[in-house]
Amino acid sequence: MIGTLINCAAIVLGTCMGLLLRRGMKPAVSHTVMQGVGLSVILIGLMGAIETGNTLLVILSMVLGGVVGALIDIDGKMNRLGQWAQRKLTRGEGEGSTFAKGFVTASLVYCVGAMAVVGALDSGIRGDHSTLIAKAALDGVTAVIFASSLGIGVMLSAVPVFVYQGAIALLGNAVAPLLSDAVITEMSAVGGLLIMGIGMNMLLEKDIKVANLLPAIVVPFLYFPLYDLIMR
């Protein structure tokens, strides 16, 4: 769990630095920064998405994941959690507050990438925290930028990061045999598309319910064992 704890600490520290920048930032500057971050997030997502070796699987994952996520209403639940935390942790922020948006956006960006999975596995199985430390540096810088535009809600994203990466680290020996290179590649490709959706929301101020597509990441994890079983 050391790598995960370092990652969470970097997010908290980055958020604090971003909040200091936010205080002296004019609305016009904040809006421009948000657009720049949105473009950067789209690029990050695109770099992950083009690694796929099975486009049909990615499409299938997005369709099945979207159906499951919409039925569960993950997006609504995450936003309600962010709004609840906003009421409990902040004062005087009205309907225009970006607290919930910061929480949801940062949580998705930090959790859907391949580094979160691979790094947590290395941390839990081999005690090698280098990947998560590298991710912590990236997440910390990203938290500065996110928090300067979206506010303190970004800090709350450290909680799902702790739960998600911590669970993978603790269950590493059990799930590692199922996470082949092909599985991780396709999970990363699906995650890349989700990250692109986040970037489009930030850049174009759209309402793509990216959180409802989160179950899509699990589809490649289930697909390859089922495919091997059928083909035997």
**What's the average model confidence in pLDDT over 156-160?**
89
User: Can you give the pTM of this predicted structure?
Assistant: 0.74
What confidence tens digit (pLDDT) does each residue in 105-115 have?
888 888 877 77
C-alpha–C-alpha distance, residues 210 and 115, integer Å: 19
Q: Which two tokens stand for residue 42?
A: 């789209």
**pLDDT above 90 for 67:** yes
Two tokens at 198? Answer: 């986040």
- Lowest pLDDT segment from 121-130, 133-142, 212-221: 121-130
As a whole number of angstroms, the distance between CA 80 and CA 149 comes to 20
Give the tens place of pLDDT for each residue, 175-184.
Answer: 777 777 788 8
The backbone torsions φ and ψ at residue 97, rounded to the nearest 5 degrees and listed phi first, read -60, 145
Instruction: Give the residue, 160 or 115, on which the prediction is more confident.
Output: 160
Contact between 190 and 137 under an 8 Å Cβ cutoff? The reply is no
**For residue 25, with 0-12 CB atoms within 10 Å meaning exposed, 13-18 middle and 19 or more buried, which class applies?**
middle
Contact 41, 140 (CB under 8 A): no
Average pLDDT value over all residues in the chain: 82
Q: CA 39, CA 17: separation in Å to the nearest integer?
A: 22
Per-residue tokens: 35: 């657009």
Calculate mean pLDDT across residues 65-69.
91
